[in-house]
Structure formats: C-alpha cells, structure tokens
Amino acid sequence: MRDEAPGPGDGDPSGPDGAGATADAGSDAAALAGLFAPERVAVVGATDREGSVGRAVTENLLAEFDGTVVPVNPSREEVLGLSCVDSVAEADADMAVVAVPPGDVVDVVRECGDSEVRNVVVLTAGFGETGAEGANREQQLRSVADEYGLNLVGPNSLGVMSSPRGLNATFGPDAPPAGGVSFMSQSGAFVTAVVDWAKGEGIGFKDVVSLGNKAVLDETDFVRAWGDDPDTDVVVGYLESIDDGRAFVDVAREATDDTPVTVVKSGRTDAGAQAASSHTGAIAGSDRAYEAGLDAAGVLRAESVQELFDSARALAGGDVPDSDGVAVVTNAGGPGVMATDAVGDAERLRLASFGDETVDRLGEALPDEANVYNPVDVIGDASVDRFREALDITLEDPDVGSVVVITAPTATLDFGELGEMIADAADEHGVPMAACLMGGKRLADAADVLRERGVPSYFDPARAVGGLKSLAEYREVRGRSYPEPEPVDADRERVREILSSVTGRSDNRLGVEAMEIFDAYGVPTPEGAVVDDPVEAERVAEGIGEEVVMKIVSPDILHKSDIGGVKVGVPVAEVADAYEDLVSRARNYQPDATILGVQVQELIDLDDGVETIVGSHTDPQFGPLVMFGLGGVFVEIMEDTTFRLAPVGRDEAAEMTEEIDAAPLLRGARGREAVDIDAVVDAVRRVSQLVADFPSIVELDVNPLVATPDGVRAVDLRLTVDPEKLETQS
C-alpha cells in the first residue's frame, strides 16, 4: 500500500491526521493561497500520450511555473523527460492536479488527504454532470474532501492558473497575460475563450479558476479569497448558478468593500415560475432572485461577455470616481453626441456641469469655434497640446468624476503621442478615464500605448461610457453600509397558529380568512369579518357603514373577482341578497368548492388611493424575496415591480417605492395628493419581516395594499404554506 510511504506530514507534531481535521475547506481565505502559489505540484495521471489531458497539463506546468512539477504514474518511468513517482504520497507535493479515470479519483484524493496535500484540482469529468452514478461519485469525493479539509477545485474543471508564479495547471491551450483581474468560470470552454481573446484586448489576469462542478470550492470561496488578495484588483465571474445565495451575499458584501466584483450570470430564462399560484410567484423567476441577490451582495452584473470585460477593464484601473458627473472631451462632433446620449441613458451617470471657472479657462484655451461646455469639442484640427490643455482644465472641475476622451482619425495628430498624453493625464489627475478611439489602423499606436499603460480604450462611445457606468456603480457599492433592518414588534405566536391551520388539509393556501396575520404584524387592514350566514353578514355591515365590500372566501377560488366573487359598494339593505348571490356564483364556478363564507369589509375610497402589491416568494438559492409594485388585478400585465431579499429595513423599503415606474403616482401626480409613503414603507418592511420569520410561507400576495394620503390598508391576502416547514420555524 502506498499509504505507508513516508509523507511530508511525518514528524509534524500536529500529526498527519485525517479524521480529526476540521472539515470546512472553504472557510479560511488564506488557505486558498496555496492553490495559486504551490511549491511542488504533483500531476496524478501524467503521461506522454499525445492529445491527453495528462500530457497537456504537464506541458502547461512545465512552460512557466517557477516551482517543481512531479509526474505521478505507476506505469511509467518518466513523462516529458521528468522521472515519475508511483503515487501522490511519494511526490512530497503541496498541490495535486488529478487527471486519472473517474473511477480512480476518489482513491487518489483520499491519498492526497493522507499525505497532507491540501490543494487538489480535479480535472477528470464523469461526475455530477453525467447522471446518477456520477452524482454518487461526486458525493463521495465531497465527503473525502470534507474529511481532510481539502481545498478541492472541480471535478470536471479545466484547472487553475496564476500569473505571479507562472502557474498554468490547466489543460487549456494558453496561459493568460499577467494583470490584476482574477477570473472564475463555471464553464471551462469559457476560460480558454477568454484567455485567448484577452491577449488582444489588454486584459491581464492574476488568478483564473475553472470551477467545474463545484463539489467543494465554489464562487463564494473565491470571492472571499480574492477579496483579501492585494494582487487582485477586480474579480470577474462567469456563473451559471450560485449555490448558497445568502452565504454569497454575506461574503461578497465584505469583499466588495475594496475589491469590485462583476459577474455575468447565464441561464436567464426560467420555466419554474409557471407553477406559481400567486402574482408574486408568477413574476419572480429565478432571474429576479439573482438580480436582487447580486444587488444585495454589491456585485455588479453584466448583461454580456463584452460588458463583463469592458467593466473589468474600467474597474482594474483602481481609481473610483468622486462624482457621478462625466465629462466628454472630443475632437469629433458626432461621437461626442453619442457619448453624451449614452451618459444620459446610464442610470447612475449624468453629464457633469462645469463651473464658471472651467468654462472661462476653456474659452481662453480653445479656438472660438470650439465648444467649451460639456461635451467639450476641441475641433478636428486639435493638436495633442490643445487636447491636453482641454483635458487638464476639465479634469480639475470638481463636478467631473470621470472622463470620456474621444478621437477620430485626423491628419494633425500623432496617435502614439496622443495615447501617451491621455495616459499621463489619467495618471496625474487620478480621475478615471475611458478612451474612445473611433478608428482602426490609424489609431493603432494610441491603442497600443493605452493598453500598455492600463487606460481602457474602446471603439464605440457607448462601450466607453459603459466602462464608466461600472465605475459609478462600484462607487455606489463602496459608499454603502448594510444596516440590520429595524426590528418589527409582532405577535408571532398568533401567526404560527394561523399558519398551522393548514395542517391535515388537502390545500395549503390561505386567503382573507387569515387576515389576522396582518394585525399580528402591525399592517393596517379595513374593518371587517368573515361570516357564514346572510343575517350575520348584514349585522357586520351595519357596524361598518352605509356601503360595504363583500368577497367570497374559498381556498378553491384564487382570483375572486375573476368569477364575480367581489362586490364593491353594496348598500346594507342588499347585503343579505349579495351573500346568497356570491355563494351561488362560487357554486356555479365549481360545484364542489369548499366555501368558508363571505367577507364583509369596509369600503375604501380608491379615488385618491393607489392599489399597490406587496408580495413574497421563496427562491431556492436566495431564500425569501419581498416584492413591491403597482397592484390590482392587472399586476402581471403591468409587471411594474421590484424585488429585494427579505427582510428589508426602512431605507431599502423606501428605495423600492422609488424604483418602480409608477413611483410618481405615489408621490402625487397631475394634481393628485401624494399617498402616505411612510405607511407604505412600514407595510413593506413588516411583510418582509413576516416572511423572513416564517419560512413556511413560500408565497404571499398582499394585493392590493391600498395606499391613500391617510395611510395604507391591506384589503386582500393570499399565501401558500409549506406544511413540511411548519415544524422547524422559530
């Protein structure tokens, strides 16, 4: 048995100890450093065979790595001129790259654990991605890695790379240029594509990891590690899933305090929403959850690969703007207008408004035909010096947070010189700059200089502005604090009882019969009661007012008004007849429907009110989300909604009310009085706390929550309880 071979753990007082090792491989950020800066790398499954993974990874390691490479293969004497050892235990390595057949991987990884090899990269495929047998193998792999506390990447990974040590432990074709971008990708093909493409784009990498199946280490572990890594300027991710959304949020919030993180998340369309039985569930696809989750995490989201790396390039510069004001300095009118439009379209950016001094100085420095207001047009015949003067003056304006410098090919400029000038100005002023080189061959010298000197440059003005937009977004992230939501006083015991009422029922939905939940959480409701005979209905109505609202109460009727189950403005004298009518409508609709009775409710004057919706949906990765939007019966048609992770505090709830398209409606439009926003905000945060407190509420709609100048009233409720989660909740 190879286990008896002497290993590096021998003589270590802490002991070569498997079973006693702490299992949480990912929890220690510094521990991952060994994955990117090992001393001795064992390649288990190294071989000379052309076209094999074992050969490709050995060759890549031999190319630049400044440590030692030890091939492991019991059936060979040597590989690529290096002498082989028979087992990983004999390699005395601190990292192992595993490229053996799938059936042998678990044993090899156990051997790594036994011989104190902490860092393991499993290239072998044929695990969770291939069906039940593979999934089982992956489970075994995970438990062995946990037992020994291994930093395990993969399986089914292309490998890892790290430029400071020249480490290329992948079977891809090339190593990336060096730089400050650390990149993780859930797709190996994407790694090879990006590395190849980056060469021409002036993007350099610190660490690159192909995450593979993420059996052990996942996106959260790498965000944590790179957040602490002084050599990583920006973290970039291509992700298909985030496994534990809440853990990711916690870790990313800390990392993004000084390291920007930007990701593209693929798989945006989502079929899961169709099964939902609430408005909120129907609108909340997993993409809305990722949107809310990434935003909560302070992670920037790119819509395309191009945007991802445009953003990375801008962020890698390290300067964060002091203001959202953008100046445009151009020698060409049209592109200047395009850049100006793009600034207008970007949510966080605005055109900087120059102070008088700036305008005066520009007037003195530039010819009469020039434009001295933003966008600054230095005119087609501008020399490098004139350009520089205009830039210096602009960069000194206090409202200018970042600058787009645009040039088209002109006969008067030396573009190598122009590139140097732009880079000098960027260095001297410490203000982020994006260059827009609107040309090809003629501008190539400028492009080369800027690439070398780390100033992002783009052909398209909109892309240049896109880079600055990422900087503005990151500026917002850096300025954040994440306060705990204010506590909500609530009668939790009462809610627990109401939710438990579904136990043993065939249906897990509750409707207006559960409105008492609102009382328990301090959300105002109209006066009213659920009754089960016409006489009682009349009695309740008399106590309320001259006219009331009546609604059928049945777990089998989801949308009451769709079947004529809501009567608004019923005079007291007609209440008894209305009762009978509602019941018979329900019977006609579904003869065997369970009818719990009729709700008699105070009539709210909607003339000066707005119907809003507050909802919740539990996402498998990110947990409970809270939604706010324009409510009423057309919610899904309007889809004017916004999501957050629940619970939210007052500030976040207030942001939600500002974010929807209908926000001006709430704040009073066209002579209408504004609604009581504070009451809306309070209701949103209370509902968000309710769903956070009770994981058994998997879906919930408060639709409408009627907002008026005098306050809010929750007039309708629908929620779905997961009976299996009833037991475990607080």
Quick one: 73 or 703, whose CB is closer to Mg ion? Answer: 703
Quick one: 80 or 568, whose CB is closer to ligand ADP? Answer: 568
- H helical segments located in 430-527: 444-452, 461-478, 492-500, 516-520
Q: Helix 384-395 crosses helix 356-365 at what angle (to 10 degrees)?
A: 170
Site string (667-706) toward Mg ion, x via CB under 5 A: ------------------------------------x---
Pick what 606 binds: ligand ADP, Mg ion, none; C-beta below 5 to 8 Å, kind-dependent.
ligand ADP
Residue pair 645/624 in contact by the 8 Å Cβ criterion? yes
Of the candidates 547, 510, 553, the one whose C-alpha atom is nearest the C-alpha of residue 529 is: 553
The residue within the footprint of ligand ADP, chosen from 560, 567, 617, 686 (CB under 6 A), is 560
Of the candidates 93, 170, 98, the one whose C-alpha atom is nearest the C-alpha of residue 137 is: 98
User: What minimum distance in Å lies between the beta carbon of 702 and Mg ion?
Assistant: 9
User: What minimum distance in Å lies between the beta carbon of 664 and ligand ADP?
Assistant: 21
* 40-44 and 95-98 beta bridge pairing: parallel
Quick one: 262 or 278, whose CB is closer to Mg ion? Answer: 278
Neighbours of 507 (CB within 10 A): 12
User: What minimum distance in Å lies between the beta carbon of 688 and ligand ADP?
Assistant: 20
From CA 396, how far away is CA 113, in angstroms rounded? Answer: 58
User: What minimum distance in Å lies between the beta carbon of 599 and Mg ion?
Assistant: 12
**Segment near ligand ADP (CB under 6 A); pick from 48-56, 148-156, 361-369, 597-605:** 597-605
Q: Determine the 3-state secondary structure of 425 from DSSP.
A: helix
Name the one residue in this structure whose structure tokens are 């993007």. Answer: 203
Quick one: 277 or 371, whose CB is closer to ligand ADP? Answer: 277
- What does DSSP assign to residue 325? E
**Segment near ligand ADP (CB under 6 A); pick from 159-167, 171-179, 466-474, 554-562:** 554-562
Pick what 551 binds: Mg ion, ligand ADP, none; C-beta below 5 to 8 Å, kind-dependent.
ligand ADP
Neighbours of 369 (CB within 10 A): 9
Token code pair at residue 153: 């990447």
Site string (599-638) toward ligand ADP, x via CB under 6 A: --xxxx-x----x--------------------xx-----
Give 656's contacts (C-beta < 8 A, 6+ positions apart).
626, 628, 642, 644, 648, 684
User: What minimum distance in Å lies between the beta carbon of 344 and Mg ion?
Assistant: 38
Quick one: 390 or 582, whose CB is closer to ligand ADP? Answer: 582
From CA 705, how far away is CA 652, in angstroms rounded? Answer: 18
User: What minimum distance in Å lies between the beta carbon of 533 and ligand ADP?
Assistant: 21
**Segment near ligand ADP (CB under 6 A); pick from 367-375, 405-413, 537-545, 556-564:** 556-564
Please name the helix (run of DSSP H) or strand (run of DSSP E) that holds residue 290, with its range, or none.
helix 286-297
* 597-602 and 547-553 beta bridge pairing: antiparallel
Residue pair 352/399 in contact by the 8 Å Cβ criterion? yes
Site for ligand ADP in 689-718 (CB under 6 A): 703-704, 715-716
278 binds Mg ion (CB under 5 A): no
Residue pair 465/434 in contact by the 8 Å Cβ criterion? yes
User: What minimum distance in Å lies between the beta carbon of 514 and ligand ADP?
Assistant: 13
> 3-state SS of 645-663?
ECCCCHHHHHHHHHHCCCH
- What does DSSP assign to residue 660? S
Residue pair 268/239 in contact by the 8 Å Cβ criterion? no
Give 692's contacts (C-beta < 8 A, 6+ positions apart).
624, 646, 647
User: What minimum distance in Å lies between the beta carbon of 314 and ligand ADP?
Assistant: 46
User: What minimum distance in Å lies between the beta carbon of 601 and ligand ADP?
Assistant: 4
Pick what 632 binds: ligand ADP, Mg ion, none; C-beta below 5 to 8 Å, kind-dependent.
ligand ADP
Site for ligand ADP in 493-552 (CB under 6 A): 526, 549, 551
User: What minimum distance in Å lies between the beta carbon of 532 and ligand ADP?
Assistant: 18
716 binds Mg ion (CB under 5 A): yes
- Kindly list the residues in this chain that would bind Mg ion in the complex (CB under 5 A): 703, 716
- Kindly list the residues in this chain that would bind ligand ADP in the complex (CB under 6 A): 526, 549, 551, 559-561, 566, 568, 601-604, 606, 611, 632-633, 703-704, 715-716
